[in-house]
Amino acid sequence: MDNEFVAYSPEMQEVKKLISLVKGINVNTIIMGDIGVGKSLVAKIIIPNAIVVYGDKPEDVLKALKNFDEIIIEDFEKLPSSDLPLTEGKKIVATAKKRIKDSTLDRLFGIKIDIPPLSQRGGDIAGLTKHFLSKAKKELGIESDTDVYSVTPDISQNCHSLKRCVYQALLCGSISKEQLGSIMEEYFYAHIDDDDENYKPFLDIFDSAVINANYRKFKSQLMMSYKMGINRNTLRKKILQLGKKLGDE
């Protein structure tokens, strides 16, 4: 199966079995799940050479159904009408971010695949993190000691956000002071508002990052104040001003 497909959890092992089944038979399939769970990847594994069309462009969908034997319809829920002219010999795989009424699904699709979010299949998070990390190192040409355990996974958008945080962790581990300065300059430039004072908000971003990093490193406000070279009361005041809650006090 495609080397992009990670299936450690019981839920994704079941999806893997369904994929193997669907690849070998001429049946229409719909894949449902939240953003970033891997619906498009699964669709491509099932019919890798299919033309891809989108539900918000119904004219393209109709043309594809008329002219091609294998079609992937992304964002199927956006089709203004699900009354598709189905023809013998066609194989359709659709993806949808939200559930569609069962009567429509039963009429159009013989197989339904539900992919749960990463929050419900924790067994896949480490495997996906490792996969994205290996891919990022190769794509970016970075030799790094960054590993799975040094990445704080963000699964708010499933694989999309997890992949972003992996690349971010890898880049942060290899960035120079000059590059960091350049990134900060570009960020500040993009967010400068001519009508507002901007120095204080930007300074708060810096202070917040420094305080977070020190707390992650030393786990104690007492040690933080010593290492940062500032009075403990001054540090506590700054933490309160930033609206932070640190665990030791």
Per-residue pLDDT of the chain (249 residues; tens, 9 = 90+): 455 788 999 999 999 999 999 998 999 999 999 999 999 999 999 999 999 999 999 999 999 999 999 999 999 999 887 667 766 789 999 999 977 776 777 888 999 999 999 999 999 999 999 999 999 999 989 888 888 888 889 999 999 999 999 999 898 888 888 999 999 999 999 988 877 788 888 888 888 999 988 998 898 888 999 999 999 898 888 888 888 777 655
Strand partners, 72: 52, 93
Q: Would strands 111-114 and 29-32 be described as parallel, antiparallel, or unpaired?
A: parallel
Closest listed residue to residue 84, CA positions, set 58, 103, 114, 102: 58
Query: Domain 177-249 maps to which CATH number in 1.10.20, 3.40.50, 1.20.1530, 1.10.10?
Result: 1.10.10
CATH hierarchy code of domain 10-116: 3.40.50.300
CA-CA distance, 120 to 9, in Å (whole number)? 9
Q: List C-alpha distances in Å: 76 to 55, 92, 95.
A: 5, 11, 6
Is residue 182 within 8 A of residue 189, CB to CB? The reply is no
**Fold match between 10-116 and 177-249?**
no
d(CA 165, CA 125): 12
Q: What is the DSSP letter of 123?
A: G
Sheet strand arrangement including 111-114: 51-54, 70-74, 91-96, 29-32, 111-114
Looking at residue 157, its pLDDT comes to: 96
pLDDT at 136: 92
For the chain, the domains span 10-116, 118-174, 177-249
Query: How many beta carbons lie within 10 A of that of residue 215, not counting itself?
Result: 18
pLDDT of res. 200: 85
Contact 148, 133 (CB under 8 A): yes
d(CA 222, CA 71): 62
Q: Where does the chain have alpha helices with state H? A: 10-23, 39-46, 58-67, 102-108, 125-140, 159-174, 177-191, 199-218, 221-228, 232-241
